[in-house]
Amino acid sequence: MSVTLLYIEDDREIGHVVSSDLREREYGVRWLQSGEGALEAAADSQLVILDVMLPGLDGFTVGQRLKRAYPQLPILMLSARSSIDDKLQGLEFADDYLTKPFHPDELAARIEVLLRRAGTAVSEPLALKHLIVYESDNRVVQADTGHEIRLTGKQHQIFSYLLRHLGQIMTKEQIYEAVWGEAYMEGDKTLMVHIRYLREKLELDPAVPQIIETVRGIGYRVRA
């Protein structure tokens, strides 16, 4: 099933090029040139790409209305305005903010991240080196043997968090605070211990991790 993106952009040229590019990337694209009809169109969309400067209702207002109507729907603001105030205003309701002139690849990468985070793009199993991850039913299996790897609750939460941010480096503070829901304390080794056990289960050779990569001095990353 193809993912449908609602793309609201008033500039015909940009709208045309961007929607063609997104279609080539196998997304269904519904392009509107103003905020009119956005609420109806968003009903069967999995993500909204919203320009700020629109005729009639501006992007912020349209975005706020969409978020109120569909709280789970990820919104990516696309703007040619780059002031901090605009970004802050946009991020009050939007999930991400991309400034023009953006590279189509960057837009596609961000869409991918947002869809993954929202759980929209997880219907298909994810192949990670020697593993296959069924995110929708929380299963991790060895690709060659089909043997399922059982993870504890915390291990699963850590792994899911890293998968939701696939390709991104997450700092230990970010992982700890997302999984444990409390502020990271200086010198806390809990996360390291959990990751060690997680690697023992996931990696072929825990001493040379291939799945959960350590980025020295910063944090951890799971790469596709």
Partner 1 sequence: MRGAERFSKLRSSLLSRYLLIIIAALLFLPVVLPLTTIVYDLFNRVDAEEQPKDAALYSNIKELEKLWHNEALLLQGAPPEVINQRLHELSGKYSRATVFWVDGQGMTRLTLGPAQSVQEVQGVGGPLPVHWTAAEAIAFMKQSMKREPLTIVAFVGDKAEAGEGFMVMQIPEAVLNVVLGKSISIWYGLVLLVLFIAFAVVSWLFFIGIRKRLLRLQTAMTIIGPDGMPGAIASGKPDEIGRLEEAFNTMVAELASSRRRESEEEGLRKRLVSDLSHDLRTPLTIIRSHLHVLTKEKITPQGQASLKLMDERIADLGVLIENLLSYNLLNSGRVILNRERKDVFRLLRESAAAWYPLWEKEGFEVDIDLSDKPLYWNVDEIWFRRILDNLYQNIVRHARSGCYVGISTEVRAGLRVILIADHGQGLESDSTSKGAGLGLTIVDLLLKAMELDWTMDSTQQGTSIVIFNQQQEI
Out of 181, 187, 205, 207, the residue judged to bind partner 1 by CB under 8 A: 187
Closer by beta carbon to partner 1, 183 or else 207: 183
x-or-dash pattern for partner 1, window 14-43, by CB under 8 A?
x--xx-xx----------------------
Minimum distance, C-beta of residue 17 to partner 1, in the bound complex (Å): 4
Does residue 85 belong to the site contacting partner 1 (CB under 8 A)? yes
Tokens of 115: 């869809």
Closer by beta carbon to partner 1, 82 or else 152: 82
Out of 1, 72, 84, 137, the residue judged to bind partner 1 by CB under 8 A: 84
Does residue 59 belong to the site contacting partner 1 (CB under 8 A)? no
Span of 41-49, 100-108, 110-118, 134-142 interacting with partner 1 by CB under 8 A:
100-108
Alpha carbon 171 to chain centroid, angstroms: 16
Does residue 174 belong to the site contacting partner 1 (CB under 8 A)? yes
Closest C-alpha to 50, from 3, 86, 2, 1: 86
Out of 173, 178, 180, 206, the residue judged to bind partner 1 by CB under 8 A: 173
Span of 58-66, 68-76, 102-110, 149-157 interacting with partner 1 by CB under 8 A:
102-110
Does residue 101 belong to the site contacting partner 1 (CB under 8 A)? yes
Does residue 95 belong to the site contacting partner 1 (CB under 8 A)? no
Out of 3, 170, 179, 211, the residue judged to bind partner 1 by CB under 8 A: 170
CA distance 175 to 184: 9
